[in-house]
Structure 1
Amino acid sequence: MTVPLLASLAGPGDRPDALTIAGQSCSREQLRGAASAVASRIAGAKSVAVRATPSVETVAAVVGGLLAGVPVVPLPPDAGPAEREHILRDSGAELVLGEDVPVDMREQGSWTGAEPGPASTALVLYTSGTTGAPKGALIPRAAIAACLDGLVDAWQWTPEDTLVHGLPLFHVHGLVLGVLGALRTGCRLVHTGRPTPEAYAAAGGSLYFGVPTVWSRVVRDPAAARALSGARLLVSGSAALPAPVFRGLEELTGQRPVERYGMTETLITVSARADGERRPGAVGLPLPGVRTRLAATESGIGELEVSGPTLFAGYLGRPEATSAAYTADGWFRTGDIAAVDEDGTHRIVGRASTDLIKSGGYRIGAGEVENALLDHPAVSEAAVVGVAHEDLGQEVVAYVVADGVGERELIDFVAGHLSVHKRPRRIRFLDALPRNAMGKPQKKLLPPL
């Protein structure tokens, strides 16, 4: 018998603060009622979008889509008009929940529709690649269930946990793990609104999620870090956790953080275990049912390829991109360079491409930022790179050839077109970009800042 995706939504042990998001609480029964009202209004739609603010209304909107079997397209709340228009047009979303369709936590519907099939699309998550606009990854219900059940096993995740995080609700980490995970396991969820050290310290959780930027800030606030010493598990993901931050958390909280690895297209595939060894730079072992291998191995490292039940069903409307993402024998090409130790522990050691930037837990495609810069009439050339940054992991830096425009104007211009987190933090003006004989910019030849 297939377990419903949101297995605990109306289960036993409900409490009035089963979910608390940015200070607003509701029970699972109240959430189901509000989501049922949404489901009744959108049943039969091709897909729906939701502006994914940190709110109980966002959760009710997403759950409403899942109940009705309508694919949900989360919109970054800081998306500029060009990015928002692209996602809505590309996804074919017929309605925006909370705008075209009301989402009211006081409304209590009674959805009685059947559980959608496991192969049906639950979410369409837009992910940045190295070139062009973001692509919509089709995430099946079965993939989400397999991912979450694997993490239940790896992290010993139970209904007795209180999960705390303050991550955005439009990507895998914050939405799939951080919200749907709580609704599948039945644990209490506290979303802090913003992931500040003070908010994490005050939440009193047993299980915490954060990206390296969050954990580096926690370590710089020793009082807040020590307040987490009673937690059962601290989990870091979305980018590599710097070893000094790993060691700082261990020193201040008395425990080593768990690191895990995944992508939008694969969800979480590899993780350290609650009952296993945790060491800096190691992302652990494959989840149940997931297989990994290294392609073109050199000196014990190679591009990581994965296969298993957590994978996406392809890019929406892009069969060629979908085909290119897989090997001839059906393994997904992650584009990340990994090493596998003798005991099977995986370490991610780099990126096959230099054009995917990981900043503050976000994956940012350099080509998307370059295209936004080139939309400015004063910019004739642009090259965007990620530069090591103590807090963000990497910061977005742009090299541009431009006439009559300043750094602040260009930064604000990009922030007005794309999500704010994709804006360049610094801009270097050049007379020309270094290029090869084919005219392609040579980023490795860009001058140092």
Structure 2
Amino acid sequence: MTEPSQPPQPLLSPPAGPVADRPDALSVAGRTLSREDLFGAAGAVAGRIAGASSVAVRATATAETVAAVVGGLLAGVPVVPLPPDAGPVERDHIIEDSGAELVLGAAGDDGVGLPVDLRERAAWSGSEPEPGATAFVLYTSGTTGAPKGVLIPRGAVAAGLDGLAEAWQWTADDTLVHGLPLFHVHGLVLGVLGALRTGCRLVHTGRPTPEAYAAAGGSLYFGVPTVWSRVVRDPASARALAGARLLVSGSAALPAPVFRDLEALTGQRPVERYGMTETLITVAARADGERRPGCVGVPLPGTRTRLAAVEGGGGIGELEVSGPTLFAGYLNRPEATAAVRTADGWFRTGDIAAIEPDGTHRIVGRASTDLIKSGGYRIGAGEVENALLDHPAVAEAAVVGVPHEDLGQEIVAYVVADGVGEQALIDFVAERLSVHKRPRRVRFLEALPRNAMGKPQKKLLPPV
């Protein structure tokens, strides 16, 4: 006799118990709501969009965005976050490719948008969708072509957030603070849904300035390396974070000097974690574990990792992952989906990593841009970048391999620096790393090209 199946557990639970009584459960750029207020407004949104195939949300840093996203999740309608600064070509592609029937949020320059009124209230009593149902269609750009829609199942979101809650001892007693964009995994899935799923208080600062972080009084802070580098350049704000329980960095590698400065100013080592849009977060340093510069921790519960051999790898390889947080595929792109999956169903991340004997992972860089083959050696760009950043005159650094007729590739560094010359930086790296890892050339820039999450965009660096 077949046992009756249990109804799926809700991805987001309506307010209940002590967390329901917090009048300041959610604060976004100064607008404060209780959980009851939020779920009431989200219930009204859910009632308006129920039955739609998908809905786009103009993801500004506002409480209206949070209500729109939660409304879509309550109604079981896949949510398609729209970057608020997206140009008309990118915006139109995302809306058309996703098949979004509605755009929620204040109308943009295209005149399209259905406003969300936080004063509206409605209870939502619809059934919880199955874990395999799509929660989000998140658009991510590759090296070529238009952005692809990444299908994120509801069960993947739940598994990822529960794994992080366990790893970081994240509970309803925390206050989470961040000021990250609400159209990425980091700011939206971790930074909003994580707070709602754990029941903790959320303070979104609007912009992630050191002063705003210092004033927020949080126990748990999320930031990208650009945020943390600005924090350590403001020692008074950094010291104000000394009472926090965890400082979490992600979306790009945290430079070792910034790691050390955070420890010196706040008295604690930051937590790093690793993931992608297609995998959510798969590896993280634990609250009760060791935190080392350049390391992103150990796999979350249920996640498995392995390294695919690369020629002359020397202990490094392409990281492949398997587990409950993986995406369901690229929207309407079966060939692209097949290209990133192995024959036995693992996801090819495209990142080069090393796994230490205790299971700790280090990400060396992207296989396409950060693994440099020079003179018969394989060199991780991140190691050279960290060495450059140790120089007191260097504020930013990006290292690439450039074709060379003798070496195969030569190491070229792009730096933002003041008061130091090319040869001095080359010698500085050669003194700290193996001589073959020194840059052969150094280009000086006013700033590195970066995306909305602060990650350097090496494809946009000027030619040598």
The TM-score range, normalised by the shorter chain, is: 0.7 to 0.9
Over 3 Å counting, the alpha-carbon distance change for 1:425 and 1:127 in structure 2 is closer
Q: Which residue of 2 aligns with 1:266?
A: 279
Q: Which residue of 1 aligns with 2:54?
A: 47
Residue from 249, 254, 277 that aligns with 2:262: 249
Q: Which residue of 1 aligns with 2:237?
A: 224
Q: Which residue of 2 aligns with 1:215?
A: 228
**Structure ranking higher on relative contact order (CA contacts 8 Å, 6+ apart):** 1
Over 3 Å counting, the alpha-carbon distance change for 1:422 and 1:13 in structure 2 is closer
Q: Write the mapping of 1:381-420 to structure 2, written as runs, cut at 5 A.
A: 387=414
Q: Which residue of 2 aligns with 1:345?
A: 360
Give the distance between the partners of 2:289 and 2:239, measured in 1 at CA.
Answer: 23
Deviation at 1:3, TM superposition (A): 3.0
Over 3 Å counting, the alpha-carbon distance change for 1:311 and 1:106 in structure 2 is same
Deviation at 1:130, TM superposition (A): 1.1
Q: Which residue of 2 aligns with 1:26?
A: 33
Identical columns (%): 77
Q: Which residue of 2 aligns with 1:63?
A: 70
Q: Which residue of 2 aligns with 1:202?
A: 215
SS across alignment from 2:292: coil
Residue from 136, 150, 161 that aligns with 1:137: 150
Deviation at 1:7, TM superposition (A): 2.9
Q: Which residue of 2 aligns with 1:79?
A: 86
Q: Which residue of 2 aligns with 1:326?
A: 341
Give the distance between the partners of 1:332 and 1:64, measured in 2 at CA.
Answer: 31
Residue from 287, 291, 308 that aligns with 2:304: 291
The Cα offsets for residues 336-374 of structure 1, whole Å up to 9 and x where unpaired, read as 00000000000001110129999xxxxxxxxxxxxxxxx
Give the distance between the partners of 2:413 and 2:149, measured in 1 at CA.
Answer: 23
Deviation at 1:127, TM superposition (A): 0.6
The Cα offsets for residues 61-112 of structure 1, whole Å up to 9 and x where unpaired, read as 0000000000000000111111101111111101001244331111001111
The Cα offsets for residues 150-193 of structure 1, whole Å up to 9 and x where unpaired, read as 00110000000000000000010000000000000000000000
Gap runs ≥5 in structure 2: 1-5, 108-112, 372-380, 383-411, 418-448
The total of aligned residue pairs comes to: 384
Q: Which residue of 1 aligns with 2:332?
A: 317
RMSD: 2.9
Q: Write the mapping of 1:93-112 to structure 2, written as runs, cut at 5 A.
A: 93-98=100-105, 99=107, 100-112=113-125
Q: Which residue of 1 aligns with 2:191?
A: 178
Give the distance between the partners of 2:455 and 2:279, measured in 1 at CA.
Answer: 23
Deviation at 1:12, TM superposition (A): 3.5
Give the distance between the partners of 2:360 and 2:453, measured in 1 at CA.
Answer: 36
TM-score (norm 1): 0.81
Give the distance between the partners of 1:236 and 1:423, measured in 2 at CA.
Answer: 15
Q: Which residue of 2 aligns with 1:369?
A: none
Give the distance between the partners of 1:284 and 1:419, measured in 2 at CA.
Answer: 25
Give the distance between the partners of 2:458 and 2:294, measured in 1 at CA.
Answer: 26
Amino acid at match of 2:186: H
Amino acid at match of 1:43: A
SS across alignment from 1:60: helix
Deviation at 1:132, TM superposition (A): 1.0
Give the distance between the partners of 2:414 and 2:168, measured in 1 at CA.
Answer: 33
SS across alignment from 2:318: strand
Q: Which residue of 1 aligns with 2:290?
A: 277
CA contact (8 A) 1:9 1:183 kept: no
Amino acid at match of 1:53: T
Give the distance between the partners of 2:62 and 2:413, measured in 1 at CA.
Answer: 31
Amino acid at match of 1:230: G
Give the distance between the partners of 1:220 and 1:422, measured in 2 at CA.
Answer: 19
TM-score (norm 2): 0.78
The Cα offsets for residues 197-255 of structure 1, whole Å up to 9 and x where unpaired, read as 00000000000000000000000000000000000000000000000000000000000
CA contact (8 A) 1:211 1:237 kept: yes
Give the distance between the partners of 2:271 and 2:95, measured in 1 at CA.
Answer: 36
Amino acid at match of 1:335: G
Q: Write the mapping of 1:419-438 to structure 2, written as runs, cut at 5 A.
A: none
Give the distance between the partners of 2:262 and 2:452, measured in 1 at CA.
Answer: 30
Deviation at 1:422, TM superposition (A): 9.9
Give the distance between the partners of 1:66 and 1:11, measured in 2 at CA.
Answer: 22
Over 3 Å counting, the alpha-carbon distance change for 1:111 and 1:426 in structure 2 is closer
Deviation at 1:195, TM superposition (A): 0.2
Amino acid at match of 1:29: E
Deviation at 1:133, TM superposition (A): 1.1
CA contact (8 A) 2:178 2:205 kept: yes
Give the distance between the partners of 2:295 and 2:460, measured in 1 at CA.
Answer: 34
